[in-house]
Structure 1
Amino acid sequence: MVLKGLQSRRPRMRMMYSRLFETMPKFNSVENSRSCHCRRCAIVGNSGNLKGSSYGQLIDSQDYVIRMNRAVTKGYELDVGKKTTHHFMYPESAKDLGANVHLVLVPFKPLDLLWLENVLLNRNFLLMFRKLKGPITADRDKVIIFHPVFFKYVHDKWTEHYGKYPSTGMLALIFGLHICDQLSVFGYGWDRQGNWHHYWENNRLGGAFRVTGVHNATFEMNVITRLAEIGKIQLYRGRPGTP
Protein backbone atom coordinates (compact mmCIF):
# COMPACT_ATOMS: atom_id res chain seq x y z
CA MET A 1 0.00 0.00 0.00
CA VAL A 2 1.18 3.50 -0.79
CA LEU A 3 0.35 4.88 2.63
CA LYS A 4 2.87 6.68 4.80
CA GLY A 5 3.86 3.51 6.61
CA LEU A 6 1.59 1.36 8.72
CA GLN A 7 1.10 3.01 12.07
CA SER A 8 -0.20 -0.01 13.96
CA ARG A 9 -0.17 -3.78 13.95
CA ARG A 10 -2.45 -5.69 11.63
CA PRO A 11 -4.97 -6.92 14.27
CA ARG A 12 -5.52 -3.33 15.34
CA MET A 13 -5.93 -2.30 11.70
CA ARG A 14 -8.56 -4.98 11.16
CA MET A 15 -10.42 -3.74 14.23
CA MET A 16 -10.27 -0.17 12.89
CA TYR A 17 -11.60 -1.25 9.49
CA SER A 18 -14.40 -3.22 11.14
CA ARG A 19 -15.53 -0.27 13.24
CA LEU A 20 -15.33 2.08 10.28
CA PHE A 21 -17.42 -0.07 7.96
CA GLU A 22 -20.01 -0.54 10.68
CA THR A 23 -20.32 3.25 10.72
CA MET A 24 -20.38 3.66 6.93
CA PRO A 25 -23.65 3.72 4.95
CA LYS A 26 -24.94 0.24 4.13
CA PHE A 27 -25.34 0.97 0.42
CA ASN A 28 -23.09 2.01 -2.42
CA SER A 29 -22.96 5.80 -2.55
CA VAL A 30 -21.47 5.82 -6.05
CA GLU A 31 -24.01 5.89 -8.84
CA ASN A 32 -23.63 2.60 -10.69
CA SER A 33 -26.47 3.03 -13.13
CA ARG A 34 -25.46 4.60 -16.42
CA SER A 35 -27.95 6.74 -18.28
CA CYS A 36 -27.94 7.11 -22.03
CA HIS A 37 -26.35 10.54 -22.07
CA CYS A 38 -22.63 11.26 -21.89
CA ARG A 39 -21.41 11.85 -18.34
CA ARG A 40 -19.60 15.20 -18.39
CA CYS A 41 -17.32 16.07 -15.48
CA ALA A 42 -15.28 19.02 -14.29
CA ILE A 43 -12.22 18.44 -12.13
CA VAL A 44 -11.49 21.75 -10.42
CA GLY A 45 -8.04 22.20 -8.91
CA ASN A 46 -7.03 25.13 -6.75
CA SER A 47 -4.45 26.89 -8.93
CA GLY A 48 -4.18 30.65 -9.02
CA ASN A 49 -4.67 30.46 -12.79
CA LEU A 50 -8.42 30.30 -12.12
CA LYS A 51 -8.45 33.92 -10.99
CA GLY A 52 -10.02 36.07 -13.69
CA SER A 53 -10.83 33.04 -15.85
CA SER A 54 -14.65 33.39 -15.89
CA TYR A 55 -14.97 29.60 -16.03
CA GLY A 56 -17.69 29.42 -13.36
CA GLN A 57 -20.67 28.93 -15.69
CA LEU A 58 -18.85 26.30 -17.74
CA ILE A 59 -17.84 24.40 -14.59
CA ASP A 60 -21.38 24.44 -13.17
CA SER A 61 -22.82 23.14 -16.45
CA GLN A 62 -21.11 19.74 -16.01
CA ASP A 63 -22.92 16.69 -14.59
CA TYR A 64 -20.24 16.10 -11.93
CA VAL A 65 -18.06 18.81 -10.39
CA ILE A 66 -15.14 17.45 -8.38
CA ARG A 67 -13.22 19.72 -6.01
CA MET A 68 -10.54 19.05 -3.42
CA ASN A 69 -9.01 20.02 -0.10
CA ARG A 70 -9.85 23.54 1.13
CA ALA A 71 -11.34 24.77 -2.14
CA VAL A 72 -13.31 27.99 -1.65
CA THR A 73 -16.26 28.88 -3.87
CA LYS A 74 -17.98 31.72 -2.01
CA GLY A 75 -16.86 34.99 -3.51
CA TYR A 76 -15.19 33.27 -6.46
CA GLU A 77 -18.26 31.89 -8.25
CA LEU A 78 -17.59 33.78 -11.48
CA ASP A 79 -14.25 32.01 -11.91
CA VAL A 80 -14.73 28.63 -10.19
CA GLY A 81 -18.49 28.09 -10.07
CA LYS A 82 -20.51 27.06 -7.03
CA LYS A 83 -21.61 23.51 -7.81
CA THR A 84 -19.89 20.54 -6.14
CA THR A 85 -20.86 16.87 -6.40
CA HIS A 86 -17.68 15.22 -5.05
CA HIS A 87 -15.09 16.70 -2.70
CA PHE A 88 -11.72 14.99 -2.17
CA MET A 89 -10.03 15.59 1.20
CA TYR A 90 -7.85 14.13 3.91
CA PRO A 91 -8.01 15.12 7.61
CA GLU A 92 -5.47 17.94 7.40
CA SER A 93 -7.35 19.49 4.45
CA ALA A 94 -10.89 18.89 5.70
CA LYS A 95 -13.68 21.44 5.44
CA ASP A 96 -17.44 21.57 5.88
CA LEU A 97 -19.43 20.36 2.87
CA GLY A 98 -22.80 21.39 1.50
CA ALA A 99 -25.86 19.19 1.12
CA ASN A 100 -25.74 16.34 -1.42
CA VAL A 101 -21.95 16.48 -1.77
CA HIS A 102 -20.00 13.22 -1.71
CA LEU A 103 -17.11 13.31 0.76
CA VAL A 104 -14.26 11.36 -0.88
CA LEU A 105 -11.66 10.50 1.75
CA VAL A 106 -8.11 10.06 0.46
CA PRO A 107 -6.43 7.97 3.19
CA PHE A 108 -2.75 8.89 3.08
CA LYS A 109 -2.24 7.03 6.38
CA PRO A 110 -4.23 4.53 8.47
CA LEU A 111 -5.12 7.12 11.12
CA ASP A 112 -7.09 8.97 8.43
CA LEU A 113 -9.64 6.14 8.56
CA LEU A 114 -9.99 6.59 12.31
CA TRP A 115 -10.56 10.30 11.74
CA LEU A 116 -13.37 9.49 9.30
CA GLU A 117 -15.01 7.21 11.84
CA ASN A 118 -15.04 10.08 14.33
CA VAL A 119 -16.43 12.45 11.70
CA LEU A 120 -19.28 10.05 10.91
CA LEU A 121 -20.02 9.70 14.62
CA ASN A 122 -19.88 13.49 15.08
CA ARG A 123 -16.93 13.33 17.48
CA ASN A 124 -13.76 15.37 17.78
CA PHE A 125 -10.52 13.53 17.05
CA LEU A 126 -7.32 14.55 18.81
CA LEU A 127 -4.28 13.26 16.97
CA MET A 128 -0.99 12.86 18.80
CA PHE A 129 0.62 15.91 17.26
CA ARG A 130 -2.27 18.15 16.23
CA LYS A 131 -6.00 18.66 16.64
CA LEU A 132 -7.72 17.99 13.34
CA LYS A 133 -10.92 19.57 12.11
CA GLY A 134 -13.85 17.53 13.27
CA PRO A 135 -16.65 17.05 13.46
CA ILE A 136 -17.33 18.54 10.05
CA THR A 137 -20.60 19.14 8.25
CA ALA A 138 -21.03 16.33 5.72
CA ASP A 139 -23.68 13.92 4.50
CA ARG A 140 -22.77 10.57 6.09
CA ASP A 141 -24.84 8.78 3.43
CA LYS A 142 -22.56 10.15 0.69
CA VAL A 143 -19.13 9.03 1.89
CA ILE A 144 -16.59 7.36 -0.42
CA ILE A 145 -13.16 6.03 0.56
CA PHE A 146 -10.48 6.20 -2.12
CA HIS A 147 -9.29 2.58 -2.23
CA PRO A 148 -5.58 2.07 -1.34
CA VAL A 149 -5.22 -0.34 -4.28
CA PHE A 150 -6.35 2.39 -6.69
CA PHE A 151 -4.00 4.78 -4.88
CA LYS A 152 -1.13 2.36 -5.56
CA TYR A 153 -2.21 2.01 -9.19
CA VAL A 154 -1.96 5.80 -9.67
CA HIS A 155 1.44 5.88 -7.94
CA ASP A 156 2.80 2.97 -10.00
CA LYS A 157 1.31 3.63 -13.43
CA TRP A 158 0.64 7.36 -13.63
CA THR A 159 3.13 9.23 -11.43
CA GLU A 160 5.70 6.41 -11.66
CA HIS A 161 6.93 6.99 -8.10
CA TYR A 162 7.98 10.57 -8.83
CA GLY A 163 7.40 12.22 -5.46
CA LYS A 164 6.62 10.33 -2.26
CA TYR A 165 3.01 9.87 -3.37
CA PRO A 166 0.54 11.44 -5.84
CA SER A 167 -1.13 14.73 -5.03
CA THR A 168 -4.82 14.89 -4.18
CA GLY A 169 -5.32 16.68 -7.49
CA MET A 170 -3.71 13.86 -9.45
CA LEU A 171 -5.74 11.21 -7.63
CA ALA A 172 -8.96 13.14 -8.33
CA LEU A 173 -8.09 13.53 -12.01
CA ILE A 174 -7.43 9.80 -12.53
CA PHE A 175 -10.65 9.04 -10.63
CA GLY A 176 -12.43 11.31 -13.10
CA LEU A 177 -10.88 9.51 -16.07
CA HIS A 178 -12.42 6.27 -14.83
CA ILE A 179 -15.97 7.48 -14.15
CA CYS A 180 -16.50 10.20 -16.77
CA ASP A 181 -17.11 10.09 -20.51
CA GLN A 182 -15.96 13.67 -21.03
CA LEU A 183 -13.51 15.26 -18.63
CA SER A 184 -12.76 18.99 -18.39
CA VAL A 185 -9.87 19.97 -16.13
CA PHE A 186 -9.55 23.40 -14.51
CA GLY A 187 -7.20 24.97 -12.01
CA TYR A 188 -4.08 22.83 -12.44
CA GLY A 189 -0.49 24.03 -12.75
CA TRP A 190 0.97 27.50 -12.47
CA ASP A 191 -0.60 30.87 -13.17
CA ARG A 192 0.35 33.08 -16.13
CA GLN A 193 3.27 34.54 -14.17
CA GLY A 194 4.64 31.07 -13.45
CA ASN A 195 3.60 31.10 -9.77
CA TRP A 196 2.10 28.14 -7.88
CA HIS A 197 -0.53 29.25 -5.36
CA HIS A 198 -4.22 28.87 -4.48
CA TYR A 199 -6.68 31.17 -6.21
CA TRP A 200 -8.09 32.44 -2.90
CA GLU A 201 -4.66 33.41 -1.54
CA ASN A 202 -2.52 36.48 -2.10
CA ASN A 203 0.62 34.39 -1.65
CA ARG A 204 2.55 34.24 -4.93
CA LEU A 205 5.18 31.80 -3.74
CA GLY A 206 5.28 28.13 -4.69
CA GLY A 207 3.17 25.77 -2.58
CA ALA A 208 4.84 23.84 0.22
CA PHE A 209 4.83 20.65 -1.85
CA ARG A 210 7.10 22.39 -4.37
CA VAL A 211 9.70 22.87 -1.64
CA THR A 212 9.47 19.54 0.20
CA GLY A 213 9.20 17.31 -2.86
CA VAL A 214 6.29 15.36 -1.39
CA HIS A 215 4.61 15.56 -4.81
CA ASN A 216 6.42 16.04 -8.09
CA ALA A 217 4.27 18.84 -9.51
CA THR A 218 6.31 19.15 -12.69
CA PHE A 219 6.01 15.46 -13.56
CA GLU A 220 2.29 15.40 -12.76
CA MET A 221 1.68 18.47 -14.91
CA ASN A 222 3.57 16.86 -17.78
CA VAL A 223 1.27 13.84 -17.56
CA ILE A 224 -1.81 16.06 -17.51
CA THR A 225 -0.57 18.08 -20.47
CA ARG A 226 0.05 14.88 -22.42
CA LEU A 227 -3.50 13.68 -21.67
CA ALA A 228 -4.78 16.94 -23.14
CA GLU A 229 -2.56 16.60 -26.21
CA ILE A 230 -3.95 13.13 -27.05
CA GLY A 231 -7.54 14.24 -26.47
CA LYS A 232 -8.30 12.33 -23.27
CA ILE A 233 -9.13 15.50 -21.34
CA GLN A 234 -9.94 19.13 -22.11
CA LEU A 235 -7.44 21.21 -20.14
CA TYR A 236 -8.32 24.82 -19.29
CA ARG A 237 -5.28 26.86 -18.36
CA GLY A 238 -6.85 30.05 -17.06
CA ARG A 239 -7.08 32.17 -20.19
CA PRO A 240 -10.57 33.68 -20.18
CA GLY A 241 -12.97 32.03 -22.62
CA THR A 242 -10.47 29.64 -24.22
CA PRO A 243 -8.93 26.25 -23.32
Structure 2
Amino acid sequence: MKTLARLFLSLVCAALGAVLYVLLCNQACPWDCYRPPAQWGSPTASTAPRLQGYSRVPDGKPLKRTQCRRCAMVSSSGQMLGSRLGQAIDGEECVLRMNHAPTAGYEQDVGTRSTVRVVSHTSVPLLLRNQRYFFQQCRDTLYIIWGPARKMSREKGGSTYQALLKVMQMYPHLQIYTLTDEKMNYCDNIFQKETGKNRMKSGSFLSTGWFTMILAMELCEQIRVFGMVSDSYCREKNHSSVPYHYFEQGKLDECRMYLMHERAQRAGHRFITEKTIFSRWAKSKNITFTHPSWAGG
Protein backbone atom coordinates (compact mmCIF):
# COMPACT_ATOMS: atom_id res chain seq x y z
CA MET A 1 0.00 0.00 0.00
CA LYS A 2 2.83 2.39 0.87
CA THR A 3 4.42 1.74 -2.51
CA LEU A 4 1.16 2.51 -4.32
CA ALA A 5 0.70 5.68 -2.27
CA ARG A 6 4.20 6.87 -3.14
CA LEU A 7 3.60 6.10 -6.84
CA PHE A 8 0.30 8.03 -6.76
CA LEU A 9 1.97 11.03 -5.12
CA SER A 10 4.76 10.96 -7.71
CA LEU A 11 2.26 11.02 -10.57
CA VAL A 12 0.35 13.91 -8.99
CA CYS A 13 3.56 15.92 -8.51
CA ALA A 14 4.59 15.29 -12.13
CA ALA A 15 1.20 16.46 -13.41
CA LEU A 16 1.29 19.60 -11.26
CA GLY A 17 4.79 20.33 -12.48
CA ALA A 18 3.71 20.08 -16.13
CA VAL A 19 0.76 22.43 -15.54
CA LEU A 20 3.00 24.94 -13.74
CA TYR A 21 5.52 24.86 -16.61
CA VAL A 22 2.85 25.65 -19.21
CA LEU A 23 1.43 28.50 -17.12
CA LEU A 24 4.85 30.06 -16.58
CA CYS A 25 5.75 29.77 -20.25
CA ASN A 26 2.48 31.42 -21.27
CA GLN A 27 3.34 34.40 -19.08
CA ALA A 28 7.01 34.57 -20.00
CA CYS A 29 6.61 34.22 -23.77
CA PRO A 30 4.65 36.80 -25.81
CA TRP A 31 1.79 35.28 -27.82
CA ASP A 32 3.25 36.25 -31.19
CA CYS A 33 6.46 34.29 -30.48
CA TYR A 34 5.04 31.57 -28.24
CA ARG A 35 3.82 29.17 -30.90
CA PRO A 36 6.90 27.96 -32.81
CA PRO A 37 6.61 27.94 -36.61
CA ALA A 38 7.48 24.24 -36.70
CA GLN A 39 3.89 23.51 -35.64
CA TRP A 40 2.55 24.86 -38.91
CA GLY A 41 5.47 24.09 -41.18
CA SER A 42 9.03 25.12 -41.82
CA PRO A 43 10.44 26.69 -45.01
CA THR A 44 13.12 24.00 -45.08
CA ALA A 45 10.91 21.04 -44.18
CA SER A 46 11.42 18.39 -46.86
CA THR A 47 7.97 16.95 -46.28
CA ALA A 48 6.09 20.26 -46.57
CA PRO A 49 4.27 20.95 -49.84
CA ARG A 50 5.55 23.70 -52.10
CA LEU A 51 3.42 26.79 -52.61
CA GLN A 52 3.81 27.96 -56.19
CA GLY A 53 4.87 31.51 -56.98
CA TYR A 54 6.72 32.58 -53.84
CA SER A 55 10.49 33.17 -54.01
CA ARG A 56 12.74 33.51 -50.97
CA VAL A 57 15.04 36.50 -50.53
CA PRO A 58 17.90 36.31 -51.34
CA ASP A 59 18.34 32.78 -52.78
CA GLY A 60 15.07 32.43 -54.71
CA LYS A 61 14.11 29.13 -53.10
CA PRO A 62 10.39 28.26 -53.19
CA LEU A 63 8.11 28.56 -50.18
CA LYS A 64 7.37 25.27 -48.45
CA ARG A 65 4.71 25.18 -45.76
CA THR A 66 2.33 22.68 -44.30
CA GLN A 67 -1.28 23.83 -44.27
CA CYS A 68 -2.84 25.68 -41.35
CA ARG A 69 -6.10 24.13 -40.21
CA ARG A 70 -7.64 27.44 -39.12
CA CYS A 71 -6.56 30.95 -40.10
CA ALA A 72 -7.52 34.42 -38.98
CA MET A 73 -7.24 36.95 -41.81
CA VAL A 74 -7.23 40.33 -40.06
CA SER A 75 -8.38 43.40 -41.97
CA SER A 76 -6.71 46.75 -41.34
CA SER A 77 -10.16 48.38 -41.39
CA GLY A 78 -11.44 50.77 -38.74
CA GLN A 79 -14.18 48.18 -38.23
CA MET A 80 -11.73 46.50 -35.84
CA LEU A 81 -11.80 49.40 -33.37
CA GLY A 82 -13.69 48.40 -30.24
CA SER A 83 -14.28 44.86 -31.52
CA ARG A 84 -12.44 43.21 -28.60
CA LEU A 85 -11.65 40.28 -30.90
CA GLY A 86 -7.97 40.05 -30.04
CA GLN A 87 -8.28 36.87 -28.00
CA ALA A 88 -10.35 35.15 -30.70
CA ILE A 89 -7.80 36.13 -33.36
CA ASP A 90 -4.84 34.89 -31.31
CA GLY A 91 -6.73 31.64 -30.70
CA GLU A 92 -6.61 30.67 -34.39
CA GLU A 93 -3.75 28.47 -35.55
CA CYS A 94 -2.33 31.01 -38.02
CA VAL A 95 -2.84 34.77 -38.18
CA LEU A 96 -2.50 36.68 -41.47
CA ARG A 97 -2.05 40.47 -41.39
CA MET A 98 -1.53 43.08 -44.08
CA ASN A 99 1.07 45.75 -44.80
CA HIS A 100 2.24 47.74 -41.76
CA ALA A 101 -0.88 47.34 -39.59
CA PRO A 102 0.41 47.33 -35.99
CA THR A 103 -0.75 45.23 -33.07
CA ALA A 104 0.94 47.25 -30.30
CA GLY A 105 -1.66 49.45 -28.66
CA TYR A 106 -4.54 47.57 -30.30
CA GLU A 107 -4.09 44.15 -28.75
CA GLN A 108 -7.63 43.85 -27.34
CA ASP A 109 -9.14 44.47 -30.77
CA VAL A 110 -6.69 42.84 -33.21
CA GLY A 111 -4.59 40.44 -31.14
CA THR A 112 -0.83 40.14 -30.98
CA ARG A 113 0.25 37.19 -33.10
CA SER A 114 1.43 37.56 -36.71
CA THR A 115 2.17 34.29 -38.48
CA VAL A 116 2.18 35.80 -41.98
CA ARG A 117 2.26 39.43 -43.08
CA VAL A 118 1.44 40.19 -46.73
CA VAL A 119 2.98 43.52 -47.73
CA SER A 120 2.70 45.80 -50.76
CA HIS A 121 5.93 47.18 -52.20
CA THR A 122 4.62 50.64 -51.28
CA SER A 123 4.47 49.63 -47.59
CA VAL A 124 8.02 48.30 -47.39
CA PRO A 125 9.41 51.79 -46.51
CA LEU A 126 6.85 51.95 -43.68
CA LEU A 127 8.20 48.68 -42.28
CA LEU A 128 11.72 50.04 -42.51
CA ARG A 129 10.76 53.08 -40.43
CA ASN A 130 9.93 50.78 -37.54
CA GLN A 131 12.44 47.97 -37.88
CA ARG A 132 12.59 47.23 -34.18
CA TYR A 133 8.87 46.53 -34.07
CA PHE A 134 8.57 44.50 -37.27
CA PHE A 135 11.94 42.74 -37.53
CA GLN A 136 13.26 42.38 -33.96
CA GLN A 137 10.35 41.80 -31.59
CA CYS A 138 9.29 38.50 -33.13
CA ARG A 139 11.52 36.29 -35.21
CA ASP A 140 8.85 33.96 -36.57
CA THR A 141 6.72 36.14 -38.86
CA LEU A 142 6.78 35.19 -42.53
CA TYR A 143 6.78 38.21 -44.88
CA ILE A 144 5.26 37.96 -48.36
CA ILE A 145 6.04 41.05 -50.48
CA TRP A 146 4.21 41.83 -53.72
CA GLY A 147 4.71 44.49 -56.38
CA PRO A 148 5.44 45.19 -60.06
CA ALA A 149 8.44 43.61 -61.76
CA ARG A 150 10.30 46.92 -62.11
CA LYS A 151 10.34 47.17 -58.30
CA MET A 152 10.59 43.50 -57.35
CA SER A 153 12.88 41.97 -59.98
CA ARG A 154 15.66 39.89 -58.45
CA GLU A 155 17.55 39.63 -61.72
CA LYS A 156 17.31 43.34 -62.62
CA GLY A 157 17.86 44.63 -59.12
CA GLY A 158 14.52 46.37 -58.54
CA SER A 159 14.60 49.09 -55.90
CA THR A 160 12.25 47.31 -53.48
CA TYR A 161 14.14 44.06 -53.89
CA GLN A 162 17.41 45.86 -53.12
CA ALA A 163 15.85 47.25 -49.94
CA LEU A 164 14.80 43.73 -48.94
CA LEU A 165 18.34 42.48 -49.50
CA LYS A 166 19.63 45.10 -47.05
CA VAL A 167 16.99 44.04 -44.54
CA MET A 168 18.16 40.42 -44.81
CA GLN A 169 21.75 41.48 -44.25
CA MET A 170 20.75 43.24 -41.05
CA TYR A 171 18.32 40.55 -39.87
CA PRO A 172 19.43 37.23 -41.41
CA HIS A 173 16.88 35.29 -39.32
CA LEU A 174 13.96 36.82 -41.23
CA GLN A 175 11.76 34.86 -43.64
CA ILE A 176 11.02 37.14 -46.61
CA TYR A 177 9.48 35.97 -49.87
CA THR A 178 8.39 37.85 -52.97
CA LEU A 179 5.74 36.96 -55.53
CA THR A 180 7.19 35.78 -58.83
CA ASP A 181 6.19 37.39 -62.13
CA GLU A 182 4.21 34.25 -62.91
CA LYS A 183 2.30 34.57 -59.65
CA MET A 184 1.53 38.23 -60.31
CA ASN A 185 0.19 37.30 -63.75
CA TYR A 186 -1.82 34.48 -62.20
CA CYS A 187 -3.48 36.94 -59.82
CA ASP A 188 -4.25 39.27 -62.75
CA ASN A 189 -5.78 36.39 -64.67
CA ILE A 190 -8.03 35.46 -61.75
CA PHE A 191 -9.27 39.07 -61.65
CA GLN A 192 -10.04 38.97 -65.37
CA LYS A 193 -11.75 35.59 -65.10
CA GLU A 194 -13.96 36.80 -62.25
CA THR A 195 -14.81 40.25 -63.69
CA GLY A 196 -14.47 39.82 -67.45
CA LYS A 197 -12.13 42.84 -67.44
CA ASN A 198 -8.43 43.09 -68.12
CA ARG A 199 -6.94 44.55 -64.97
CA MET A 200 -4.50 46.93 -66.67
CA LYS A 201 -6.85 48.06 -69.45
CA SER A 202 -9.58 48.76 -66.91
CA GLY A 203 -7.23 50.93 -64.84
CA SER A 204 -7.47 48.64 -61.83
CA PHE A 205 -4.98 47.98 -59.06
CA LEU A 206 -5.23 44.81 -57.00
CA SER A 207 -5.20 45.33 -53.24
CA THR A 208 -3.07 43.66 -50.59
CA GLY A 209 -6.33 42.05 -49.43
CA TRP A 210 -6.57 40.31 -52.82
CA PHE A 211 -3.13 38.76 -52.54
CA THR A 212 -3.73 37.85 -48.89
CA MET A 213 -6.98 36.05 -49.71
CA ILE A 214 -5.33 34.08 -52.52
CA LEU A 215 -2.51 33.06 -50.18
CA ALA A 216 -5.02 32.17 -47.46
CA MET A 217 -6.92 29.87 -49.82
CA GLU A 218 -3.64 28.09 -50.60
CA LEU A 219 -2.41 27.92 -47.02
CA CYS A 220 -5.53 27.46 -44.87
CA GLU A 221 -8.23 24.85 -44.59
CA GLN A 222 -10.58 27.30 -42.83
CA ILE A 223 -10.43 31.09 -43.16
CA ARG A 224 -12.09 33.43 -40.71
CA VAL A 225 -11.96 37.03 -41.97
CA PHE A 226 -12.10 39.75 -39.32
CA GLY A 227 -13.24 43.32 -40.01
CA MET A 228 -14.04 43.10 -43.73
CA VAL A 229 -17.35 44.58 -44.89
CA SER A 230 -19.55 43.14 -47.64
CA ASP A 231 -19.72 44.58 -51.15
CA SER A 232 -23.09 46.22 -50.38
CA TYR A 233 -22.17 47.67 -46.99
CA CYS A 234 -21.06 51.11 -48.15
CA ARG A 235 -24.26 51.60 -50.18
CA GLU A 236 -26.48 51.02 -47.15
CA LYS A 237 -27.98 54.20 -45.74
CA ASN A 238 -27.14 53.51 -42.11
CA HIS A 239 -23.63 52.10 -42.46
CA SER A 240 -21.20 53.10 -39.75
CA SER A 241 -18.44 55.63 -40.39
CA VAL A 242 -15.02 54.25 -39.49
CA PRO A 243 -11.47 55.17 -40.52
CA TYR A 244 -9.97 53.44 -43.53
CA HIS A 245 -7.27 52.01 -41.22
CA TYR A 246 -7.85 51.30 -37.52
CA PHE A 247 -4.45 52.80 -36.72
CA GLU A 248 -5.06 56.04 -38.65
CA GLN A 249 -8.00 57.58 -36.85
CA GLY A 250 -9.20 60.97 -38.00
CA LYS A 251 -8.20 60.37 -41.61
CA LEU A 252 -10.28 59.34 -44.63
CA ASP A 253 -13.47 57.40 -43.98
CA GLU A 254 -13.41 53.77 -45.12
CA CYS A 255 -16.53 53.86 -47.30
CA ARG A 256 -15.50 57.13 -48.91
CA MET A 257 -12.20 55.54 -49.83
CA TYR A 258 -13.89 52.42 -51.22
CA LEU A 259 -16.40 54.34 -53.33
CA MET A 260 -13.78 56.79 -54.60
CA HIS A 261 -11.54 53.96 -55.78
CA GLU A 262 -14.41 51.94 -57.26
CA ARG A 263 -15.43 54.92 -59.41
CA ALA A 264 -11.90 55.93 -60.46
CA GLN A 265 -11.21 55.62 -64.19
CA ARG A 266 -7.53 54.89 -63.62
CA ALA A 267 -5.32 53.66 -60.78
CA GLY A 268 -8.26 52.51 -58.65
CA HIS A 269 -8.26 49.72 -56.13
CA ARG A 270 -11.51 47.86 -56.76
CA PHE A 271 -12.20 47.12 -53.11
CA ILE A 272 -15.95 46.61 -53.57
CA THR A 273 -15.49 44.41 -56.66
CA GLU A 274 -12.99 42.29 -54.76
CA LYS A 275 -15.45 41.77 -51.92
CA THR A 276 -18.09 40.63 -54.42
CA ILE A 277 -15.59 38.04 -55.65
CA PHE A 278 -14.67 36.99 -52.10
CA SER A 279 -18.36 36.48 -51.43
CA ARG A 280 -18.60 34.08 -54.38
CA TRP A 281 -15.50 32.21 -53.28
CA ALA A 282 -17.01 31.75 -49.82
CA LYS A 283 -19.70 29.55 -51.39
CA SER A 284 -17.15 26.90 -52.34
CA LYS A 285 -14.34 27.61 -49.87
CA ASN A 286 -14.48 27.47 -46.08
CA ILE A 287 -14.49 31.27 -45.61
CA THR A 288 -16.52 33.16 -43.00
CA PHE A 289 -16.74 36.90 -42.34
CA THR A 290 -16.80 38.28 -38.81
CA HIS A 291 -17.42 41.80 -37.45
CA PRO A 292 -19.37 42.64 -39.42
CA SER A 293 -20.72 39.16 -40.03
CA TRP A 294 -22.11 38.44 -43.48
CA ALA A 295 -22.57 35.41 -45.65
CA GLY A 296 -20.96 34.75 -48.98
CA GLY A 297 -23.42 34.31 -51.79
TM-score relative to the length of structure 1? 0.70
- 1:45 pairs, out of 75, 99, 118, with 75
Higher relative contact order structure (alpha carbons within 8 Å, sequence separation ≥ 6):
1
CA contact (8 A) 2:149 2:181 kept: no
- 1:101 pairs, out of 123, 137, 141, with 141
- 1:120 pairs, out of 158, 165, 168, with 165
Letter in 2 for 1:219: T
| Cα RMSD for the two superposed structures | 3.2
Measure the CA separation in 1 of the matches of 2:148 and 2:71. Answer: 25
CA contact (8 A) 1:52 1:238 kept: no
Superposed, 1:132-151 pairs within 5 Å as 141-151=174-184
Query: Whose strand fraction is larger, Structure 1's or Structure 2's?
Result: 2
Question: Across the two proteins, how many residue pairs are aligned to each other?
Answer: 205
Secondary structure of 2:105 counterpart:
coil
Letter in 1 for 2:84: S
Measure the CA separation in 2 of the matches of 1:153 and 1:194. Answer: 35
Superposed, 1:211-230 pairs within 5 Å as 211=261, 212=264, 213-229=267-283
Measure the CA separation in 2 of the matches of 1:28 and 1:57. Answer: 32
CA contact (8 A) 1:48 1:197 kept: yes
Structure 1 partner of 2:245? 198
Structure 2 partner of 1:11? none
Select the structure of larger CA radius of gyration: 2
Matched, 1:85 2:97: no
Q: Which runs of 5+ in 1 are unaligned?
A: 1-20, 124-134
Letter in 1 for 2:109: D
Matched, 1:234 2:284: no
Give me the identity figure in percent.
23
Q: Which runs of 5+ in 2 are unaligned?
A: 1-54
Letter in 2 for 1:154: C
